[in-house]
Amino acid sequence: MQSRPLVITSLYVALGAAGLAVPLGPVAAQESAQPPSVIVAPAERRDITPKFSYLGRVEAVDTVELRARVSGFLEKRNFREGTEIKAGDVLFEIERDTYEITVQQRQADLTGAKATLENAQADFARKETLVKRGTASEASLDSSRAERGTARASVLQAEAALRAANLDLSYTEVISPIKGKISRARYSVGNFVDPNSEPLATVISLDPIYVTIAVSEKQLIEARREGINLDNPVVAPSLQLSDGSFYDHPGEFDYLDSTVNRSTDTVTARAVFPNPERLLLPGEFVTVVVRQKTPQSAVVIPQSSVQKDQKGYFVLIVDRADKVEVRRVSMGEQTEMDWIVNDGLTEGERVIVQGLQKVQPEMLVNPVTVTEGGQG
């Protein structure tokens, strides 16, 4: 035979299931009087290193398009496409014959101009002597002086023409001004090229290399208030690659744009990274993790304790009397599994991390810390 308390409890359950209001009996009242258990965690003050993650694009420090500066047929290509070349390497050679002939002609012109000048100077000296003796007129001396000036001008003009011819001759060798990796050649040997042709090839530098990110205007304002500057930045960037691994070499910020992009309300920031293994290539996307160089002391709480409504963020805390209290908080950045509290909580206050759905403000609860009973 069933005991009387069990029969009464079963009756209460049956009536409750039928939707009838049933007053609590002695046993049910005793059970309902027990406060619910909740898991709490104390707000902790710790030295943390705040970090921000951005989508970044890899860019080459230097990009040079190799162009023909004189007209002619390509005679040689002195590189293998896709390889690294050194600054000063002769990459393409344009036919030289025409330009060598021009140089010889300009040298002959200069020699003739110098001979004419020498003759004009001798004639002027003779006329000057004759004028002093009174056997020649001043007009003839003036004419000789003018011829000497014209001869000097001819020499200067011939020298300039020779320099121009030598310069054109030097342009028949297309030289790389930087060290880097060269692209495919757009023209094969035997093609005619001139200054209006497309670039013959492109050279990009790979070490070091740039990574650019877009920083929100709000974060930039906060950074300026904290006195962050590029001369002595308090943050350091690191990279996470597309496969989830982290890049071995740390970087440094070296540029911050002076204007805000009107369409995105962001400012472009640029970091420079060493790239000795050539792991980073221009154009690819990476995740840029920006951390403060020096840790800062802050109050942190588990992210699971933070809630949000129309008024903002709040947490449920358990006071010294084990009663639930709603506390409005101002939140900072998330760091791993915790959240920085800028304002609203002090160190040691207990926040509810589990059991939030079964408590209300002013309710008496049984708090169990995350370190008790094998929790956490």
Give percent of the chain with pLDDT exceeding 70: 86
Whole-number pLDDT of residue 53: 82
Whole-number pLDDT of residue 224: 65
Query: What are the per-10-residue average pLDDT scores of the chain (376 residues)?
Result: 41 43 47 79 84 87 94 94 93 94 94 91 84 80 86 93 95 94 93 94 94 83 61 76 89 84 85 92 90 79 90 90 90 82 89 87 87 46
Whole-number pLDDT of residue 33: 67
Both tokens of 116, joined, read 């004419």
> Taking each helix axis from N to C terminus, what angle separates 97-133 and 138-170, rounded to the nearest 10 degrees?
160
Whole-number pLDDT of residue 108: 95
Both tokens of 146, joined, read 């003018």
Whole-number pLDDT of residue 77: 94
Query: How far apart are the C-alpha atoms of 144 and 154, rounded to whole Å?
Result: 15
Query: How far apart are the C-alpha atoms of 43 and 94, rounded to whole Å?
Result: 74
The single-letter DSSP state of residue 323 is: B
The single-letter DSSP state of residue 336 is: T
Q: Residue 292's beta-bridge partner residues?
A: 235
Whole-number pLDDT of residue 140: 80
Question: Would you list the DSSP string of 57-102?
Answer: EEEES-EEEE--SS-EEEEEE-S-TT-EE-TT-EEEEE--HHHHHH
Whole-number pLDDT of residue 19: 45
The answer to whether the CB of 235 falls within 8 A of the CB of 252 is no
The single-letter DSSP state of residue 226 is: T
In the chain, which residue ranges form alpha helices assigned H by DSSP? 4-17, 26-32, 97-133, 138-170, 217-225
Whole-number pLDDT of residue 71: 94
Q: Which amino acid is at 280?
A: L
Query: How far apart are the C-alpha atoms of 376 and 369, rounded to whole Å?
Result: 8
Residue length, the chain? 376
Prediction pTM value: 0.64
3-state secondary structure of 185: coil
The answer to whether the CB of 211 falls within 8 A of the CB of 58 is yes
355 membership: H or E segment, kind and range: none
Both tokens of 28, joined, read 């049910």
* CA angle at 31 for the pair 27 and 33, rounded to the nearest 5°: 120
Whole-number pLDDT of residue 12: 41
Query: How far apart are the C-alpha atoms of 241 and 99, rounded to whole Å?
Result: 51
Whole-number pLDDT of residue 281: 92
Whole-number pLDDT of residue 294: 73
Q: Count of CB atoms within 10 A of residue 5's CB?
A: 11
Whole-number pLDDT of residue 121: 87
At 154, give phi and psi (nearest 5°).
Answer: -65, -40
The single-letter DSSP state of residue 198 is: P
Whole-number pLDDT of residue 30: 46
